[in-house]
Every structure is written in C-alpha cells, then in structure tokens.
C-alpha cells in the first residue's frame, strides 16, 4: 500500500529481467525500501536483476517463475506475487516482450507467431489478470511498456510493430474498464531504447535509455498520467508521421 506521501510499497515486474522494468522498479522501490517481485523465466537473469535492485535500495526482492505464453498460470503468478508482497501490489509493470528477427520471420518458421503470442496475447492474458488483482485491492496501477513502433507500423519491423500496436490498444481499453475501480493504467511509449534487446542495432533518432524511460515513468505515475512518450518530443513527431501519405511512409528509413 502507498504511504501518506504516495511512496510505493510493492512492485511486481512481469518480465523480471527486463532492463526497463528493473530500472522502473529501482526508482520506485528505493524511497521506501519497497518489496519488489521479479517474475520471469530465467533464474540466473532474475538473480542478477534482484542483486541490482538490492544495491539500488529495494527492501526485499522476491523472484517467481513466469512465462508470458503460459496463460493458465497468470492469475496464480499475480496472486502469489501479491501474497509475497504482503497482500497487495501498488504497481504491476508489464515489461516482457520479444523483438524477433523481421527478415528471418518473414521467410518462415514460427518466429512471427511467437512475437505475436508473447507481445500481444501474453500481454492480454497478464493484463486482465493484473486488472482483476487491482479490482480486488481497490487500488494500484499497471504500467504497460508499449513502443512507438506500434503507433504507425513500418515495413522494416511490421511484425513487432503490429504486436505492440495491438498491445497498446488493449491497454487503452483496459484503462477505461478500470475507471471507478481504484485501479489505473499507465501506457509508456518509448522510442528506440539502447540496451540488451537492441544491442548491435543502429540507434534511431531520439533514442533513449532504460534509465531515462524509468525516470519518465516515475514522473508520469506521480502525476497520474495515462500515457507517456519517451523522449517527450516523440509525441509531436508521431503526430506528423501518423498522417503521412502511405507512399511517403513506405520510404521512411528502417
């Protein structure tokens, strides 16, 4: 439960090894030595993330197994995370996702389906489970890590971009569905984030870092915003890009 000053007492990160998710949890946990639950698939990665959170000032860090594609387990994972945190969750960060390999996935195999399954279907399942937890509590916020790639899908990464477009639209609707329940949703739309997921790729203009995304997210939570773009100027850029004629849009560099 948040204290009288609004400091967060408990955070769940779904996709617990995510650099952005861990950066957000670090920023939220430190002021109150909050409890953080990291939910993910790989024990060694979760252990590294837990150690980083402890160094950052988290009071207690718990790790649990979570698979975005194991839909039947999502309610159980979130309920066990709430129990581990003392009964409720102030912030649930939906931080899992896969980038895929556009060229390889177009050529065949199940890569494209995996991207859609994890990034969209997994987010729907986990998002609904998280919303049920917030309704039971009567408070809390879901932080959904979307992407500028979903605002208008480009040829260069349309499989990933379309999965994020669907995910973003889902959380917009989920936000409306939580009105009056005490729960809320914050959609975070970063641009190109320089980190493990994009290592070796050429940074796009207005690129950012996990730490900058975390800082903007914490400010947006404090201000009770529904959407935040990181960096902020991306909002104006995409307002123009959204209305480019298709013939011009196809020529936007990948």
Among all residues, which ones are annotated catalytic?
Answer: 160
Distance CA 149, CA 39 (A): 25
Q: Are 151 and 104 in contact (CB under 8 A)?
A: no
Q: Are 43 and 62 in contact (CB under 8 A)?
A: no
Which tokens hold the place of 137? 């509590």
What is the residue whose two structure tokens read 């936007």? 252
Q: Are 31 and 6 in contact (CB under 8 A)?
A: no
Give the contacts of 205 (CB within 8 A, at least 6 positions apart): none
Which tokens hold the place of 168? 């973003």
Residue 98 CA neighbour count, 13 Å, CB half: 19
Beta-bridge partner residues of 38: 13, 63
Element (DSSP H or E) covering residue 165? helix 158-177
Distance CA 71, CA 19 (A): 23
Q: Find the DSSP H helices in 57-120.
A: 74-84, 102-107, 111-116
Using CB atoms within 10 Å of the CB of residue 251, give its burial: 0 to 12 exposed, 13 to 18 middle, 19+ buried.
exposed
């Amino acid at each position: 439960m948040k204290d009288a000053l609004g400091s967060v007492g408990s955070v769940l990160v779904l996709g617990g090894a995510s650099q952005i998710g861990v950066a957000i949890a670090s920023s939220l946990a430190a002021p109150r030595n909050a409890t953080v639950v990291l939910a993910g698939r790989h024990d060694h990665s979760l252990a590294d993330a837990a150690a980083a959170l402890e160094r950052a000032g988290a009071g207690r860090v718990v790790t649990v197994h979570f698979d975005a594609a194991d839909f039947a387990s999502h309610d159980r994972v979130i309920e066990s995370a709430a129990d581990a945190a003392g009964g409720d969750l102030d912030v649930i960060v939906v931080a899992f996702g896969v980038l895929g390999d556009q060229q390889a996935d177009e050529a065949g195999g199940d890569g494209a389906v995996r991207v859609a399954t994890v990034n969209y279907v997994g987010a729907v399942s986990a998002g609904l489970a998280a919303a049920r937890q917030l309704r039971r509590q009567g408070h809390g916020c879901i932080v959904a890590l979307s992407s500028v790639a979903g605002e208008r899908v480009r040829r260069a990464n349309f499989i990933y971009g379309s999965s994020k477009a669907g995910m973003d639209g889902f959380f917009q609707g989920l936000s409306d569905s939580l009105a009056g329940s005490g729960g809320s949703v914050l959609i975070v739309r970063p641009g190109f984030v320089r980190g493990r997921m994009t290592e070796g790729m050429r940074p796009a203009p207005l690129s950012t870092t996990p730490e900058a995304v975390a800082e903007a997210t914490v400010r947006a939570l404090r201000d009770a915003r529904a959407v935040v773009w990181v960096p902020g100027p991306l909002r104006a850029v995409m307002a123009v890009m959204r209305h480019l004629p298709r013939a011009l849009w196809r020529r936007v560099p990948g």
